[in-house]
Amino acid sequence: MCGIVGLLVKSPPLRERLGELMVPMLIGMTERGPDSAGLAVFTSPLPVSERKISVYSGLTEAGADFNWQGLGHDLKSHLGTTVTVNARGNHAILTTSLDPEVIKRWIKEHHSKLHLLSTGRSIDLYKDIGTPAEVAARYDFASLKGSHLVGHTRMATESAVTPDRAHPFTAGEDFCLVHNGSLSNPHGIRRMLEPHGITFETDNDTEAACRFLEWRLREGDDLEVALQKGFEALDGFYTFLMGTPDKLALIRDPFACKPAVVAETDDYVAIASEFRSLAHLPDIKNARVFEPAPEEMYVWNA
């Protein structure tokens, strides 16, 4: 069991309240996922030449006391470019105009226990072990701003309870996925992807789905085509919620084994595993509430 939540706000003023509206949604899914939580938020994009990288230091010895400013200095002296470091506890967002792959390679070589959470012009990603309320407080989720977000509460069934196995998973740039369910063929998907040069960071089944779909997008499929190929390739139980800089997308397996409910108003689209997580949203009594059908694609534009 796990909980998923998603929120896309349609009116610019609500972007200021994105995190505040979402926190009760995430906490509402605590019974479905008490062991870890996480979310990806999509903000206004950086200029084309810049990238931001979300980094997690909780697996290092220093943990939340990691010397982020030292990392910034080292990156500057080794790579000759300024990397802005916006750190809070065990989490930092690095902003750079250098090729992010160069930065990430350097970090992996010199700080192998730093976990790279996400890369892109729009995405910021946070995930950690703990109850949804603890994780939300740890990273001050209520203060997050942006156009849309994808969140998850985890009750692990397929791999261990560790921060890197929490959701959302990311692959490539500005793409993330959360999963409620369990895949039956993640190893087959991995064996198919690895010869394409795609590497995996965990043994988690969701990572296989995430990397499969991102691979299809990178190969030129649009989101709808990639999701169609996902229906054909991925076997098992799933409700997937995915985020890109301008879209939220939802699919459910043909047996609809894992729940999802959507509430839509003129101001927002909200998605959750159960209505419990939507009940507090503004004007919910007048929202159009529906259950997404199995094997259908639901895509909302930010």
Identify whether the C-beta of residue 294 lies closer than 8 Å to the C-beta of residue 255.
yes
Q: E-strand spans in the chain? A: 2-9, 36-42, 51-56, 84-88, 91-96, 115-120, 123-129, 148-154, 169-170, 176-183, 236-244, 247-252, 261-264, 268-272, 288-290, 297-301
Q: Which residues pair with 4 in a beta bridge?
A: 152
* Of 123, 121, 118, the residue nearest 50 (C-alpha): 121
Helices in the chain by DSSP H: which ranges? 12-15, 18-28, 68-79, 100-110, 132-138, 186-193, 205-218, 223-233
Q: Name residue 55's beta-bridge partners.
A: 92, 116
Of 46 and 289, CB closest to other proteins: 289
- Identify which of residues 194 and 291 has a Cβ nearer to other proteins in the complex: 291
Report the nearest approach of other proteins to the CB of residue 153 (Å).
15
- Provide the β-strand partners of residue 51: 96
- Active-site annotation holds for 210: no
DSSP bridge partners of 129: 36
Give min distance, CB of 135 to other proteins, in A.
Answer: 22
Nearer to other proteins, 161 or 293 (CB): 293
- Which C-beta is closer to other proteins: that of 79 or that of 289? 289
Site residues for other proteins per CB under 8 A: 254-256, 259, 261, 274-280, 285, 289-291, 293-294
* Marked catalytic residue, from 2, 176, 210, 257: 2
Closer residue to other proteins in complex, CB, 69/290 = 290
CB 254 to other proteins: min, Å: 8
Instruction: Specify the amino acid at residue 52.
Output: K
In angstroms, the CA 177 to CA 161 distance is 18
To other proteins, the closest distance from the beta carbon of 259 in angstroms equals: 7
Torsional sign, CA 199, 204, 207, 208: positive
In whole angstroms, the minimum distance from the beta carbon of 279 to other proteins comes to 3
Catalytic residue numbers, as ranges? 2
